[in-house]
Amino acid sequence: MTMTTRAAFERGTDSFNAHDMDGFAEVVADDVVVVAPGVRCDGKSAFVEFYGGWLQAFPDAHIEVHHAHFIDDVVVEE
């Protein structure tokens, strides 16, 4: 069964907040690309390494979603 965009977003957010990198990675495409100031992650393993390191550096980190907008398979989070 295919997960909806909203379900994947919610599962990813919940997994990140639980610091569950395996669960977080399950909702990420194998060919994910993340571009942030000073960082570029190509692929799931780079993604997991980057965010895993981020959670180690900030052990109390969590995502607080104020608004999420869904259009087809795109999510914009505030």
**Of 30, 29, 12, nearest in space to 21 by CA:** 12
Say what percent of the chain tops pLDDT 70.
99
The pLDDT confidence band at residue 1, using thresholds 50, 70 and 90, is low
pTM: 0.82
Q: Give pLDDT, residue 73.
A: 84
Domain layout of the chain by residue ranges: 5-61
Exposed/middle/buried for residue 47 (C-beta within 10 Å: 0-12, 13-18, 19+): buried
CA distance 60 to 66: 19
| CATH architecture of structural domain 5-61 | Roll (3.10)
Coil, helix or strand at residue 65: coil
Lowest-confidence range among 3-7, 17-21, 42-46?
3-7
CA distance to 11, 33, 56, per residue, from 4 (Å): 10, 20, 29
